[in-house]
Structure formats: structure tokens, C-alpha cells
Chains A and B, each alone.
Chain A
Amino acid sequence: MYDSEVQGRAVLRPGEADAGVIAPIDGKSVGLAFSVDGNPFYGLIDPYQGGALAVCEAARNVASVGAVPSAITDCLNYGNPEIEEVFWEFKEGVRGVGDACRKIGLLTEEGYPIPVVSGNVSFYNQGKSGKAIPPSPIIACVGVLDDWSVSRSIGFKDEGDVLYLVGEPLDELGGGEYYRTVLGTFGGNVPKADFIRERRQIESVIEMHRLGWIKAAHDISSGGILTAIAEMAIGQDPSNGLGFVLDLAELAPTGLEPEKILFSETGAFIVELPAGMEREVLALCARNRVRLYRLGEINSFPRLEVIDGSERLAIWELEELRTAYDSGCRDIFGVPAGR
């Protein structure tokens, strides 16, 4: 834990949203958003995708609060580069970071890459056995906002608001949370960074922020759509007790099995918009050539439910989710419950 309040400029703190936001200049609306991200499991399967996806996610994170991804810095962690395979992992990771920066590009300057303004490389990260750590590029992204007041926390806001999925789950669960923690395997089918798709989705979400539509936004990453929605439920004002029913029938056009829909980590966003905006949001997404799914309305029952048409697949009380979320590390590190 560290001091996330010092200087008094906080607008959104770590954990409140996908990126932290500050209002750096008195009397000005300009805001800065910061995010640091990385997932070593993708790189273990494909070090190129590991680098590329880390940039995609960091860029998504700042777009989630309405900021334009404007620069990154990297922290590239690998094993012993004197070993040919490890050096190859490093090379692939750098190639992935570079491709993502060039192909997502600066939204504000057509044809310019997102600049990598600094970085650090850490080699020889290995255990006593000499086995290298998984390729672990960590990316920090800075985003710029014209107006920090549009940045919102990920938590549900009001009953009757509508959740939309901006993007689409694909059948690419390799290295993902579901395979590792539920099935106990890595798989091989790692998500493929699609820079054009990422750019269009990021542009769309930033545009929705600028239009003042977004009441909450959260990107899809580890744990997929279901985890993202759960985090949005957990992040709300606990005295509001809002819930959601996710009907897989809404996502039937993806043609995927339920667990793939729920846990696919394909880059996307979930946004909460006021009711009655279907036409506007559909038009915006069509214009930007991104997929859009209307997932349903936020209700006033403090639980999260997954159904498939008339069949209930799962249900959790909000309190149960919150406890699991807050005590995850305690369980792992062996601190007894209730502390």
C-alpha cells in the first residue's frame, strides 16, 4: 500500500477504475491517466503476443477512463539473454511492444506511433535451477484527457442503466485465467493482438466519454466478461445494492460455448450507459466499425446471475463476491479469514 492521495490531485485512485486519474493543473480541465499492466502467462505461450497484448491492455486501461493513450514506458523482465531461447523471447517481446505502439498509433496524430518514452530491461531473472521467469513485459501507459470530469469509476451507478459490450469474445482462451485456475492448464491458443480492432474500440470508448454518455467503463482482461461485470458490481457504492443478470442468449451470435463467452480475454470494453441510448450507441459503433452487444439492464437485486435463456447457470450474492475479491490474497498467503 502506498500514498495515492498525496498532492491532493486525485480524481480516481488505483482500484477505482482501470487507470488512476489526476487533475494536475489548478483551474484547468486537462487530466492525466496512468495505468501499469502486464500478464506473464501470454508471453509464456507466445512472447510476441505477450509484448503486444501488454501494450493493448495498458492503452485500453487509460481509454476506459476516457483518456487518449499518449505514451508508454516499459519494464522488460526476462531470463538469461546468453541463452539463445531467452534472447529470442526478449526479441519477440520487443517486436510485440513496437508493433502495438506503431499500429495502434497516436489517436491525436495520424500516422505517428505511441511513443515509448523510456524503459528498463531486467535480465537474468531466474530461479536457483536456472529456469528463466516467464517473459514479463510490463507496460505503463499515460493517457491525456481534455476534461477529467468525464472519468468514472468502474462501479455500477444506477438501476435501469444498460451494460454494453464494445467488442466481442473470440475463441482464444490460452494463458487465460479460466484455463489456469479452473482447468489447471495453460492451453496454447493465446489471444492474438488485433491492433486495428483495439484502436477502433479505444476510439469508440473515448468518443462515448467525450459525449458524456459513460457512467462506468471497464476493460475486458484477466477473467473475461464475467470477471469484468463482477468487478463492476463489487466497485459500486455498497449501500446501493445493484445487480445484473447476464443472459448468454444476448451473446449467441458469437457462436461460442458459455464458458468461452464468459471467460474469453479478447480485448474489449463493458460500458454502462443511461437507458434509451440504443440507437445512438449502435450508430457510433457502426461508424467506427466495432462490434456492439447490448447485455442488459442493471437491476436492484444485490446479486450477479448468469442465465442462458430460461436456464440459470450461476448466481452469486454481491456480498459473497465482495468477500472473495477482498480476501483473495489472504487466502493465498495463509492469513486466516476475517482479518
Chain B
Amino acid sequence: MKRNFSRKVAVIQFPGVNCEYETARAIRTVGLEAGLFRWNEDPAVLDDAVAIVLPGGFSYQDRIRAGVVAAKDRVMDKVSELAAAGMPVLGICNGAQVLVESGFVPGLQWESVELALAPNIMEDRSGYYCRWVYSRLEETGTAWTGSFSEGAVIPIPIAHAEGRFVTENEKVLKAMKENGQIVLRYCDSTGVVDGSFPANPNGSMDNIAAACNREGNVVAMMPHPERATWLRQVPENLPDEWGRRRRKGAGNIDLLEGEGPGRKFFASLLERLKQGGVL
């Protein structure tokens, strides 16, 4: 039986991803509906979806290069078609790698690969890195960031070994800046964009943590908003308002199940869909 994605956000389940369930749960916290799309289902069912999310994990075991096999999956032809038509698409971590390998982000020339998410190299640190970092919101005009205020400092976890945005073509970076395609930049807890570790955790060019296509409907982000959707997920010793809120919530499940710093990415989508009359 074909599944119905009408009014739903489709979370694409490639073999090897491991964040699809919590990503769907996180989407539901803002009142949106979400469903999982298995990679080998008929892509045509996605026509009815209101948005698409590519979750984190290790699609196709990260064979060859993270995200590159999934980028060639036939479902991505459908995602390309829908994204080009303006449907909101978010890639989180491995999903971001898929979007970059598909040539949707930055998408200056649609479907041509202009960026890479290269192995983390920071001074002489390298390899997999899992921790809470800070990012600054640079662009509120995307489908996924409209509910934030410009310059908002967002604590959020990263967990990746290949998250360093790079391009060898300076024109690409220049165009991205001019077009407002840099969505999030790594920063310190006060919002200062500092190129050195630990503010920049992976050596990403210009501290880029998330980027989008020119139209802003497709966003590729390395940090995990679904791991910062509930207040209980926030570490108690975070040196900011979120840390204080988390400590105050101790003993109160309702407070701790309340909003975390990353929920607004999904709230932004709801807002956008309502504005656009999709919902």
C-alpha cells in the first residue's frame, strides 16, 4: 500500500541513517506531522509532502565518501524536482552531506557539486567529534530559520568526522556570502565568530555550520537540531541562559520536556508553511 504524505514532513530513511525517529519526534513537537519515507518506496508519494528532511547517520555506510552514495539514490531525483519547485528541504549532518554531494547546496549551478564537507581538521586535531558547540544565526530568510532573531546565539550539538565546509573556488564562497547563503556560523558562547578551536570545532571555512541554496528553501546543517529540541537535552553546565534554564528545570518534567534551543528550526518551518498557505 502506498503511504500518504499529505500534510506531512517526510523524513527520508536511507539504509544506515540513525537519527530518523528522533528527527520525526522533534518535528512533531511544533505541531507538524511527520512520517518516515523508506528509500525504496515509490518516490512519487513525496509529491504530497509539505517538506523533506534528510536525517543524520551513515547512509550507505558512508561508503566512498559520506553522503555520496545516497546522493545518487533515485529518491534524490524526486527531492531535486521538489526542491527546485520550492519545497522546504533540510539536511542534518549526514543529510547535509547528501545535499552538498547532490549539488543542491549551494546550488549556484543546480546539481553541480560546488562545496565539500571534508574531514575535520583543526590546528592539529582531527577525526570524529561529538560535543555541544555554539552557532550564530546569520540568515533568517530561509524556510528553516524564520522564527529566530538575526544574530541569535544557538547552543547545539555536533557529532561528525566530516563537517568542514570547504571549496577551492573562491567565487563560490563569495557568491554564497553575497546571496546570503551562509545560515549558521560556529561561534563562542557570546556569539563571537572565532576561527580558532574550540569556537570553530572542525576547521570549517569561514566558520560555516550551515548553508542554503540561493532561494533559502534547501538548508544543509551539520549541527543536530533534533538533539536540542527538548530542554532536558541541554547540558547543565552550559555557560548561558539555556544552561540556567536547564538547571532551574530540575525536578520538573514539564519544564524539561519544554523547548530547547534547536526547536525553532522546526517552528520556522511550520511558520513558513502557514505563511505560504501550504498548511
Q: Considering the complex, which residues of chain A in the window 1-43 have a beta carbon less than 8 Å from any beta carbon of chain B?
A: 1-13, 16, 23, 26, 29
Q: Cβ of B22 < 8 Å from any Cβ of A?
A: yes
Q: Which residues of B contact A157 (CB under 8 A)?
A: 247
**Separation of A190 and B232 alpha carbons in the complex (Å):** 40
Q: Considering the complex, which residues of chain B in the window 105-138 have a beta carbon less than 8 Å from any beta carbon of chain A?
A: 123-125, 127-130
The one of A23, A29, A152, A236 in contact with B250, judged by C-beta atoms closer than 8 angstroms, is A152
The answer to whether A212 touches B251 (Cβ under 8 A) is yes
**Separation of A11 and B224 alpha carbons in the complex (Å):** 16
The one of A1, A3, A8, A152 in contact with B233, judged by C-beta atoms closer than 8 angstroms, is A8
Indicate whether A29 sits within 8 Å of B253 (C-beta atoms), given known contacts A4-B130, A13-B235: yes
Q: Considering the complex, which residues of chain B in the window 167-191 have a beta carbon less than 8 Å from any beta carbon of chain A?
A: 189
The answer to whether B233 touches A26 (Cβ under 8 A) is no
The answer to whether A5 touches B125 (Cβ under 8 A) is no
Which of A3, A12, A13, A152 is most buried by chain B, counting CB atoms within 10 A of its CB? A3
Indicate whether A5 sits within 8 Å of B250 (C-beta atoms), given known contacts A155-B236, A155-B237, A237-B236: no
The answer to whether B128 touches A1 (Cβ under 8 A) is yes
- Chain A residues bordering chain B, tally (CB within 8 A): 34
The answer to whether A5 touches B247 (Cβ under 8 A) is no
Q: Cβ of A147 < 8 Å from any Cβ of B?
A: yes
Q: How many interface contacts (CB-CB < 8 Å) are there between A and B?
A: 88
**Separation of A61 and B201 alpha carbons in the complex (Å):** 31
Minimum CB distance partner of A240 in chain B: B239
**Separation of A9 and B21 alpha carbons in the complex (Å):** 11
Minimum CB distance partner of A150 in chain B: B251
- Chain B residues bordering chain A, tally (CB within 8 A): 39
The answer to whether B232 touches A5 (Cβ under 8 A) is no
Q: Which residues of A contact B256 (CB under 8 A)?
A: 11, 149
B198–chain A nearest beta-carbon distance, Å: 11
Q: Considering the complex, which residues of chain B in the window 209-255 have a beta carbon less than 8 Å from any beta carbon of chain A?
A: 224, 226-227, 229-230, 232-233, 235-240, 243-244, 247, 249-253
A122–chain B nearest beta-carbon distance, Å: 26
The answer to whether A11 touches B237 (Cβ under 8 A) is no
**Separation of A212 and B129 alpha carbons in the complex (Å):** 34
The one of A5, A153, A240, A339 in contact with B157, judged by C-beta atoms closer than 8 angstroms, is A5
Q: Cβ of A235 < 8 Å from any Cβ of B?
A: yes
A75–chain B nearest beta-carbon distance, Å: 23
Q: Which residues of A contact B233 (CB under 8 A)?
A: 5, 8, 10-11
Q: Cβ of A111 < 8 Å from any Cβ of B?
A: no
The answer to whether A147 touches B253 (Cβ under 8 A) is yes
The answer to whether B232 touches A237 (Cβ under 8 A) is no
> 11 A-B Cβ contacts within 8 A?
A5-B227, A6-B56, A6-B159, A7-B19, A10-B227, A11-B232, A12-B236, A23-B232, A148-B253, A149-B252, A212-B251
The answer to whether B237 touches A237 (Cβ under 8 A) is yes
The answer to whether A339 touches B130 (Cβ under 8 A) is no
Q: Cβ of A309 < 8 Å from any Cβ of B?
A: no
Interface string of B141-161 (1 = CB under 8 A from A): 000000000000000010100
The answer to whether A153 touches B236 (Cβ under 8 A) is yes
The answer to whether A149 touches B26 (Cβ under 8 A) is no
The one of B22, B130, B249, B251 in contact with A2, judged by C-beta atoms closer than 8 angstroms, is B130
Q: Considering the complex, which residues of chain A in the window 209-249 have a beta carbon less than 8 Å from any beta carbon of chain B?
A: 212, 215, 235-240
The answer to whether B130 touches A8 (Cβ under 8 A) is no
**Separation of A7 and B233 alpha carbons in the complex (Å):** 11
The 6 closest A-B pairs by CB, nearest first: A8-B22, A239-B239, A153-B236, A5-B227, A237-B237, A149-B253
Apart from A9-B22, A10-B232, A237-B238, 7 more pairs, CB < 8 Å: A7-B18, A8-B22, A16-B236, A147-B253, A148-B232, A236-B237, A339-B124
Q: Which residues of A contact B26 (CB under 8 A)?
A: 8
Q: Which residues of A contact B18 (CB under 8 A)?
A: 6-7
Q: Which residues of A contact B240 (CB under 8 A)?
A: 239
Interface string of A188-215 (1 = CB under 8 A from B): 0000000000000000000000001001
Interface string of B18-40 (1 = CB under 8 A from A): 11011001100000000000000
The answer to whether A235 touches B237 (Cβ under 8 A) is yes
Minimum CB distance partner of B247 in chain A: A157
A302–chain B nearest beta-carbon distance, Å: 13
**Separation of A10 and B226 alpha carbons in the complex (Å):** 12
**Separation of A148 and B255 alpha carbons in the complex (Å):** 13
Indicate whether A3 sits within 8 Å of B130 (C-beta atoms), given known contacts A9-B22, A339-B123: yes
**Separation of A155 and B26 alpha carbons in the complex (Å):** 28
A24–chain B nearest beta-carbon distance, Å: 12
B225–chain A nearest beta-carbon distance, Å: 10
Indicate whether A153 sits within 8 Å of B130 (C-beta atoms), given known contacts A8-B22, A8-B227, A8-B229: no
**Separation of A55 and B259 alpha carbons in the complex (Å):** 38
Q: Which residues of B contact A2 (CB under 8 A)?
A: 128, 130
**Separation of A9 and B25 alpha carbons in the complex (Å):** 11
The answer to whether B250 touches A215 (Cβ under 8 A) is yes
Q: Which residues of A contact B157 (CB under 8 A)?
A: 5
**Separation of A13 and B232 alpha carbons in the complex (Å):** 11
Indicate whether A6 sits within 8 Å of B251 (C-beta atoms), given known contacts A16-B237, A153-B237, A339-B123: no
**Separation of A6 and B57 alpha carbons in the complex (Å):** 9
**Separation of A3 and B244 alpha carbons in the complex (Å):** 25
Indicate whether A3 sits within 8 Å of B159 (C-beta atoms), given known contacts A152-B236, A153-B235, A339-B124: yes
Q: Which residues of B contact A236 (CB under 8 A)?
A: 237
Indicate whether A149 sits within 8 Å of B130 (C-beta atoms), given known contacts A5-B157, A8-B25: no
Indicate whether A149 sits within 8 Å of B251 (C-beta atoms), given known contacts A2-B130, A8-B226, A9-B22: yes
